[in-house]
Amino acid sequence: MSIQWFPGHMNAARKEAAKTMEVIDVIVELLDARIPNASSNPLIQELRLARQRPSLKVLNKADLADPAVTRAWLDLYNQQPGVSAVALSCSHAADAAKVPQLCQPLAPHRHSSAKPLRMLIMGIPNVGKSTLMNRLLKRRVARVGDEPA
């Protein structure tokens, strides 16, 4: 009998993400700008490549990170095919508002109100997903806190 370390809730989330991937246009992956590599979930890349979806990597909390190091990570990510990367601080409404505009070039077939852009916001806990959603919707729909939800 093989022992697997993959909790049931993580497997359920992976399956739900794979299912959702079929109907979305762009993946918005939030990373912590202070630790981009450590805050990246390889499962997101795996799903993105399997479904051939473009990705916007948002290095969030950029105001707390070293600008030179952040620039190096942006250069690396922007060299990857199907990936665009940007450094923002989603706690600032103006920065969060840029996300849909940055996704538009990644899904050029979704430029009309008849076909609105569909984004899937993904990332590990505490990278700012709830903050971004609340800022985009201009109201509190997702609880923000220092605990994973």
Q: Mapping DSSP to helix (H, G, I), strand (E, B) and coil, where does residue 105 land? A: helix
Q: Where are the alpha helices (DSSP H) in 5-142?
A: 8-21, 42-51, 67-78, 93-103, 129-137
- The CA–CA distances, whole Å, from 128 to 10, 29, 50, 111 equal 19, 10, 25, 26
Q: Which residues contact 109 (CB under 8 A, 6 or more apart)?
A: 25, 115
Q: What are phi and psi of 104, to 5 degrees?
A: -55, -45
Q: At the fourth CATH level, which superfamily is domain 21-81+99-124?
A: P-loop containing nucleotide triphosphate hydrolases (3.40.50.300)
Q: Can you tell me whether residue 100 is helix, strand or coil?
A: helix
pLDDT of 86 reads 98
**Rounded mean pLDDT of 8-32?**
86
Residue 98: which residues within 8 A CB-CB, separation 6 or more?
Answer: 86, 88
What value does the mean pLDDT take over residues 25-29? 94
- How many residues in the chain? 149
Q: Where are the domains of the chain?
A: 21-81+99-124
Query: What average pLDDT does range 99-125 have in this prediction?
Result: 85
Band of pLDDT at residue 3, cut at 50, 70 and 90: low
Q: Which residues pair with 59 in a beta bridge?
A: 31, 87
Tokens of 127: 């990278």
Instruction: Write down the pLDDT at residue 1.
Output: 59
